[in-house]
Amino acid sequence: SQQGEEDPQALSIQEGENATMNCSYKTSINNLQWYRQNSGRGLVHLILIRSNEREKHSGRLRVTLDTSKKSSSLLITASRAADTASYFCATDARSSASKIIFGSGTRLSIRP
């Protein structure tokens, strides 16, 4: 089963609005990463937040991490048409067989 689960599965907003996506996970992690994917192509790394961090910013992106609730959120401010994509969270779990596990993604559509 997936370690991370994104919510909502799909989101449609007007250009200029803010988009918020959430991710929940099950086990303790070293870090959590957010990725973007356009139309079944390769994933683009957006931001990495470590387990000892609570918030991180990168341009129009803001990521929060709550390890007590095992959840993270990705906020995209002032959305643009080019932000239309699928967004995935991925967790680097603390285990001897460490690997990065992806959620099922949020499909974001920006309406002009």
Partner 1 sequence: ETGVTQSPTHLIKTRGQQVTLRCSSQSGHNTVSWYQQALGQGPQFIFQYYREEENGRGNFPPRFSGLQFPNYSSELNVNALELDDSALYLCASSLAWAVRRTTSYNEQFFGPGTRLTVL
- Interacting residue ranges for partner 1, rule: CB under 8 A: 2, 30-31, 33, 35, 40-45, 48, 88, 90, 92, 94-105
Dist CA 13 CA 24 (whole Å): 22
| Cβ closest to partner 1, residue 22 vs residue 104 | 104
Q: For residue 8, say if its preceding peptide bond is cis, omega within 30 degrees of 0.
A: yes
Q: In the complex with partner 1, which residue's Cβ is closer, 18 or 58?
A: 58
Q: How far is the CB of 21 from partner 1 (least distance, A)?
A: 13
CB of 90 to partner 1, least distance (A): 8
Distance CA 97, CA 68 (A): 23
Q: How far apart are CA 82 and CA 94, in angstroms?
A: 34
